[in-house]
Amino acid sequence: MSLFPTVGRKQLGVRISWWLVVAFLAFGVFMHLVPFYIMITTSIKPATEAMAMPPTLWPRQPTFAAWGLVLKLSDIAKSVLSQPLSKYFLNSMIMTFGTMILSIPVTSLAAYAVSKLIKGRAAKNLFIFFIGTLMLPGIVSLIPSFLLTRNFPFPLPVAPNIPGTDVAFPTLRIWNTYWAVIIPAGFSAGNFLLFKGYFDGIPDSIINAARVDGGSEFNIFRRIILPMSIPVYAVVAYFTFGATWDSYLWPLVVIQDSAIAPLTLAIRRISDAFGAAGTTNPLTAVGASAGISELVSQGLSWNGLMVLGLLQAIPTFIFFIIAREYLLKGVKIQGLK
Amino acid sequence: MSVGTDVIEPRPAVPAVEGGRTRRRWLNWLFVIPAILFQFFWGWYPMVIAIFLSLTNAPIRGAVTFRGIENYVRLASDPLVPMAFRVTLIYGILSIILTFIIPIITAILLMEMPPKTMRVMMILWFLPLSGIASTLFWQYLYNEKFGIFQYIATAVLGLPPQAFLSSERLVLFWLIVPGIIMYGPGLYYIAGLQGIPKSYYEAAEVEGAGFWRKIWTISLPRLRPIISMTLLFSIIGSLQEFTFPDLMTRGGPNGASRTVVMYMFTLLNNGRIGDSTALAVMLFALIMVFVLVFRLVFKSDPDV
């Protein structure tokens, strides 16, 4: 409450503009709630009502049929989805929590050291080394990174031979495993920036006091800094969860086996199949694959895709609810300098 | 020295501090070494190697041989490449023009609300809808036969049926519309605004500054480092767009929404690893031009 004048708030002009601001913000909030409303109501509509014109505001006959059908998708249409949906969900969970468990300690310890332990030119150079990749388009490393998952440490399609022999160098292969998603995300430059911004705000005197009392730097970090830094950990955990849970291009490149594919790739397959079936219009679905026609005849159309969307959205949503108290306290970023 | 004696016996002051410092300094690097390894092998190393890889044939089987600029020459004669660059440029520039400013305005206005209202509004405003889930939602809204947008266009506004995502001319515009109000780095702006002391505004008011003047002379300058950071990330990010157009349109109709990264993925799927990398390097160069222009414009920072 600083832009509007503190004196003369009762004046007509000030009041009108105040309410205009409120109206704008309320409209924005409303627009953010619309997707949730439409997705939830559509997911409990019967298939034909989900494609009714004009669209209905509230389902005439609410039914959870679509939820049941989506959860049994792989039984009905094996050609569309080879694994049960719960398997894809589990795969996403493994990749997401694996990334969080690896990346958050690695990134935060480095940020703490650069912020508080290492001084002078070394700290400056490390900072540039850590966040430099943020300022460059990361897409250029997509294909070398993909090749690295196949032949680590050679970013080549085929590992070279050991000079003078016909034997190829031994390489580490994480391609087409959960590790292919987890390991490359072991350090996150964006999260480094968040952590460093937060640690910079902790007074050095606290750490110096702890040093006088004795104890290793790691113990100081664990006993004193960590409890003070819960907000930034909550924010980073939420961001990391959201980003990995929704990661799409990278799994598309490194995960081939559908038994370990994340939910995002399953959604791609399903929406593809429905797209081929005339965008889920039963009348044009005649030429579609047997599995899809079967699903459509059992009552699955856009209501089912909305169920899928909700399944994808709910975990991020839960994480947001957990982290919401910390969102403002945890972000203390001051730009790239 | 055992742990027990270490605690009991007070050590001579100077050597202990000296010894402690060297011990600490060496151990400090244990904090950063894992991150250095990850950032090197999965950050810088593949980035640098991409340039070399783009100059080879990079076959799926057989030896890798150096081919000079052959990949680039082949891409130059591919009509789909300039088309993808055109789509990327339009998409990137249009999305920054249409989506960058509103989150800043929103954050500034949110700060005007009483604290409790602001908290509730902020939480509702930042309610996350998973990006993948949102593609399903927007596809539904954009459906030509029974989508809500078609309903609004025909029944409410009385227009002829719209093609939406099947329109070659407007598909990019329709792809950007969801971003106008929905997503943005608003959290960073609010965090930045919270750090501005109230006294600044009070002092400005005593000097006779009004609503706009306070925004222009206090809020925006104080947000400048954060705005310059988010703008840089938006430029880099929007020119590398893949997920949203891929899920929404698969690049259609007739490649009218096929971005460079989508074409890279197509090339990769066809086993043309060298060409795909060369295309990535071309996109890298294009984005770096934007980044350099951005740095020139934002160079004179009054705060530093």
pLDDT tens for each residue of B31-55: 999 999 999 999 999 999 999 999 9
Cross-strand bridge partners of residue A336: A334
Closest CA to A304 of A6, A28, A31, A63: A63
Q: What is the pLDDT of residue A94?
A: 97
Q: What is the pLDDT of residue A87?
A: 93
Q: What is the pLDDT of residue A255?
A: 94
Task: Answer whether A165 touches B (CB < 8 Å).
Answer: no
Contacts of B31 in chain A (CB under 8 A): 109-110, 112-113, 117, 217-218, 221
Is residue A81 one of the residues assigned to a domain? yes
Is residue A33 one of the residues assigned to a domain? no
The low-confidence residues of chain B, meaning pLDDT below 70, are 1-24, 182-183, 300-304
Q: Residue B58: which of A53, A139, A157 has the nearest Cβ?
A: A157
Closest CA to A225 of A195, A255, A248, A252: A195
Contacts of B50 in chain A (CB under 8 A): 140-141, 143-144
Q: How many domains does chain A have?
A: 1
What is the C-alpha to C-alpha distance for residues A150 and B278, in angstroms, rounded to an integer? Answer: 20
Q: What is the pLDDT of residue A15?
A: 87
Q: What is the pLDDT of residue A226?
A: 94
The tens digit of pLDDT for each residue in B174-189 reads 999 888 876 678 888 9
Contacts of B109 in chain A (CB under 8 A): 21, 24-25
Is residue A144 one of the residues assigned to a domain? yes
Q: What is the 3-state secondary structure (H, E, C) of B135-194?
A: HHHHHHHHCCCCCHHHHHHHHHCCCCCCCHHHCCCCHHHHHHHHHHHCCCCHHHHHHHHH
Is residue A60 one of the residues assigned to a domain? no
Q: What is the pLDDT of residue A337?
A: 60
Task: Answer whether B239 touches A (CB < 8 Å).
Answer: yes
Is residue A40 one of the residues assigned to a domain? no
> Over chain A (337 residues), what is each successive 10-residue block's mean pLDDT?
74 87 92 92 88 84 87 79 90 97 96 92 94 92 93 85 83 92 95 94 90 85 93 94 94 92 92 66 49 72 89 92 86 73
What is the C-alpha to C-alpha distance for residues A244 and A96, in angstroms, rounded to an integer? Answer: 5
- CA A290 to chain B, closest CA, distance in angstroms equals 23
- DSSP character at residue A279: T
- ipTM score for this prediction: 0.90
CATH code at position A177: 1.10.3720.10
Q: Name which of B66, B132, B139 to mutate to probe chain A: the one with the most chain A Cβ atoms within 10 A of its Cβ.
A: B132
- CA A324 to chain B, closest CA, distance in angstroms equals 7
Decide if A91 contacts A178 (C-beta within 8 A): yes
Q: Counting runs of H as helices and runs of E as strands, what totals does chain B give?
A: 17, 0
Is residue A25 one of the residues assigned to a domain? no
- CA A161 to chain B, closest CA, distance in angstroms equals 9
Alpha-helix residue ranges (DSSP H) falling in B195-272: 198-206, 211-214, 220-238, 243-249, 260-269
Decide if B225 contacts B188 (C-beta within 8 A): no
Is residue A303 one of the residues assigned to a domain? yes
Is residue A226 one of the residues assigned to a domain? yes
The tens digit of pLDDT for each residue in B123-172 reads 888 888 888 999 999 988 998 888 889 888 988 888 888 888 888 889 99
Full domain range(s) for residue A298: 66-330
Residue A204: count of CB within 10 angstroms of its CB: 9
- CA B258 to chain A, closest CA, distance in angstroms equals 15
